[in-house]
Structure 1
């Protein structure tokens, strides 16, 4: 389905699911605003790959409101409007109740909850009717998937799930849908970080498919949510997990 003429903002888009989504939406015809925190080389390479006429790289800390305002302003200055917002940047630390700290809690809530909320707030006046908001939740929020080792992470993503439901109702009168994708274990840099090969093999065996998901498989679902075919889908958290943790 063509996304020609559409404009998408994706935070954390220089790598992983964000990058795969930027590539997929651009392949479908959309222009893409590629937010990154520090990896300017990867972001610039992605702009060159897509083409400077349909891609823009913007450095911004997706947990800070002034930076989010800068990101939205840059998108509107170049493309004139916004059609899709995907707050993808996130943190996934391992913390149990006993190991949780105030600073770790604040970091998770700032990037996983505050940033997405205020990005949508700042972008909303510029989103055209028929626009889309796609949050990123997690497969770890299922009843069988919640792990004590990811206490702060799942708490923050639980907040995202509730924002989806509330904002879907608030933005519906403007014709804007709000959903989330909830990936299961997906082969990204963030997922692999800090895991031994033994742990990774154990996690692979938990999947009925015997493998991890790929970033482009999540991007395909975002592309569906971005298109006209999803116009009656809103307030939903779509689990993209290959039947893992169900």
Structure 2
């Protein structure tokens, strides 16, 4: 049954953990109906839905590999069936693989590109076909595109593709009244980010920006909510490096 009564509807691919989960929570607080897209961890997705409903939002979780066009189309179709349409799409689903170029495992590179590049194109294509007028599409990059840290070659290259995609799509949406942007976070305090890093490395990264702290998922969620909102609609075709001023 549709609940389309003026409520804006958001799909957050990669919404079960970390920054994505913070975005789900923030959009729920702002009154959106939210679809939590996830790849594998049903418990985390259920917890994200529980947080959204506790904030008063209608929400459900949908399992979809972002690189699988049939699964992604199914997620959009379910959102339309339950909520009446889709207004906002954010894709945070991603994969990280670190290695010097000379030592790269090309199977790992292929897997990275499948999620980070193909997945971004699949979600963007479905969003471009279905998002309603006045809506918003936000893809996710990384501030490593620009800092070029050692061992991040494959990951940064995949996110460079996402930035090119977002800028091109913004222009292709002419006449649709849909803004398209990319957010490129810097180091952000998520469980995934902390994994495998020493306290010394974390402290160094925290001091790499003039604000001298790690980003918090809420910092990125506030930006994502703004870009998705009518108030942020004039921001279009941009890559926003949300990193506290890290160079």
Distance in structure 2 (CA, Å) of the matches to 1:141 and 1:32: 29
1:197 corresponds to which residue? 199
The one of 159, 162, 165 aligned to 1:163: 165
TM-score, normalized by length of structure 1? 0.93
1:8 equivalent among 4, 7, 10: 10
SS at match of 1:117: helix
Q: CA deviation at 1:49?
A: 2.5
Distance 2:129 2:93 in 1: 22
Within-5 A mapping of 1:1-246: 5-51=7-53, 54-142=58-146, 145-245=147-247
Post-superposition offset of 1:188: 1.1
- State the aligned residue count: 240
1:92·1:190 contact (CA, 8 Å) conserved in 2?
no
Residue 80 of structure 1, CA deviation: 1.7
Q: Kindly provide the CA deviation profile for residues 25-74 of structure 1, in whole angstroms up to 9, marking residues without a partner as x.
A: 11011111001122211211222232296101011112222221222122
Q: Once the 2 structures are TM-superposed, how far is the Cα of residue 92 of structure 1 from its aligned partner?
A: 1.8
TM-score after normalising by structure 2: 0.92
Q: Tell me whether 116-125 or 132-141 shows the greater mean CA deviation.
A: 116-125
1:13–1:88 contact (8 Å) kept in structure 2: yes
**Displacement of 1:160 after TM fit?**
0.6
RMSD: 1.5
Q: Indicate if the aligned counterparts of 1:33 and 1:55 stay in contact, CA closer than 8 A.
A: yes
> Is the CA contact 2:97–2:109 (under 8 Å) kept in the aligned structure 1?
no
Matched residue of 2:20: which SS? helix
8 Å Cα contact 2:211/2:244 also seen in 1 = yes
Is the 1:12–1:35 Cα contact (8 Å) retained in structure 2? yes
- Return the alpha-carbon distance in structure 2 between the equivalents of residues 193 and 73 of structure 1: 35
Separation in 2, partners of 1:223, 1:172: 22
For structure 2, list consecutive stretches of 5 or more residues without a partner in the other structure: 1-5
Equivalent position SS for 1:33: strand
